[in-house]
């Protein structure tokens, strides 16, 4: 089995977004491991329209070229770590839309979160875990929550996320969870595909 490929999805797209900082930081932590491969996936590169397909991607192919390109990218990845901004106590619209624009490509893959904001994006992360279950994913227990005090120091005072040891520890635990599930579920998906082909 080849090494699982983990996508770090930047879950916000506004021009002045904070999302790059947690994405770059956790990508660097994950890249220190030699048992997984890391790729950053920027939703800005997939300008999906608000969902307007005739049916769910669970039930048939999408017409939109961007949606097809997005689904191909998700299919090529074995697990995900998503930066989770919180907009009005919920995940960003752009991230929910991107989740809706694939289905089979998410199934039986793990997903972990790096939340940030007043309460570390906790309310958005909890909602994302529920959405992930509907997509037949495995949302992992560990997560990073960059709460207000740390968030402000990084956003306004020029501090770096890797200066916060509790955040480094949470990031390593989240990566470990996603890597473990990615290996187990990749093997299971490959077994199932082989059995089907036989």
Ligand X SMILES: Cc1cc2nc3c(=O)[nH]c(=O)nc-3n(C[C@H](O)[C@H](O)[C@H](O)COP(=O)(O)O)c2cc1C
**Least CB distance from residue 135 to ligand X, whole Å?**
22
**Least CB distance from residue 61 to ligand X, whole Å?**
31
Q: Which residue from 85, 137, 140, 146 is in contact with ligand X, where contact means CB under 6 A?
A: 85
100 vs 89: CA distance, rounded Å: 19
**Closest-CA residue to 40 (of 8, 70, 71):** 8
Q: Which of residues 110-129 bind ligand X (CB under 6 A)?
A: 117-118
Mention every residue, 6+ apart, whose C-beta is less than 8 A from residue 55.
none
51 makes contact with ligand X (CB under 6 A):
no
Q: Which residue from 53, 87, 126, 129 is in contact with ligand X, where contact means CB under 6 A?
A: 87
**Least CB distance from residue 17 to ligand X, whole Å?**
4
Question: Which one, 15 or 54, has the nearer CB to ligand X?
Answer: 15
Question: Which one, 60 or 93, has the nearer CB to ligand X?
Answer: 93
88 makes contact with ligand X (CB under 6 A):
yes
Q: Which of residues 156-185 bind ligand X (CB under 6 A)?
A: none
71 makes contact with ligand X (CB under 6 A):
no
Residues in binding contact with ligand X, number by CB under 6 A: 12
Q: How many degrees, rounded to 5, is the angle at CA 181 between CA 180 and CA 185?
A: 125
Specify the stretch interacting with ligand X by CB under 6 A; choose among 39-47, 69-77, 83-91, 160-168.
Answer: 83-91
139 makes contact with ligand X (CB under 6 A):
no
Residues that bind ligand X (CB under 6 A): 12, 14, 17-19, 85-89, 117-118
């Amino acid at each position: 089995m080849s090494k699982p490929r983990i996508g770090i999805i930047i879950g916000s797209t506004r021009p002045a977004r904070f999302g790059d900082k947690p994405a770059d930081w956790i990508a660097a932590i994950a890249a220190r491991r030699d048992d997984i491969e890391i790729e950053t996936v920027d939703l800005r590169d997939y300008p999906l329209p608000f969902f307007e397909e005739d049916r769910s991607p669970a039930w048939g192919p999408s017409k939109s070229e961007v949606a097809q390109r997005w689904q191909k990218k998700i299919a090529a990845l074995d697990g995900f770590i998503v930066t989770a901004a919180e907009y009005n106590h919920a995940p960003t619209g752009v991230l929910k839309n991107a989740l809706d624009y694939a289905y089979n490509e998410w199934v039986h893959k793990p997903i972990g979160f790096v939340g940030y904001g007043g309460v570390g994006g906790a309310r958005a992360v909890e909602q994302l875990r529920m959405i992930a279950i509907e997509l037949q994913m495995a949302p992992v227990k560990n997560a990073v929550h960059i709460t207000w005090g740390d968030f402000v120091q990084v956003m306004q005072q020029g501090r770096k996320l890797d200066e916060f040891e509790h955040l480094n520890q949470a990031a390593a635990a989240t990566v470990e969870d996603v890597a473990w599930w990615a290996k187990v579920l990749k093997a299971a998906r490959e077994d199932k595909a082989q059995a089907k082909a036989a």
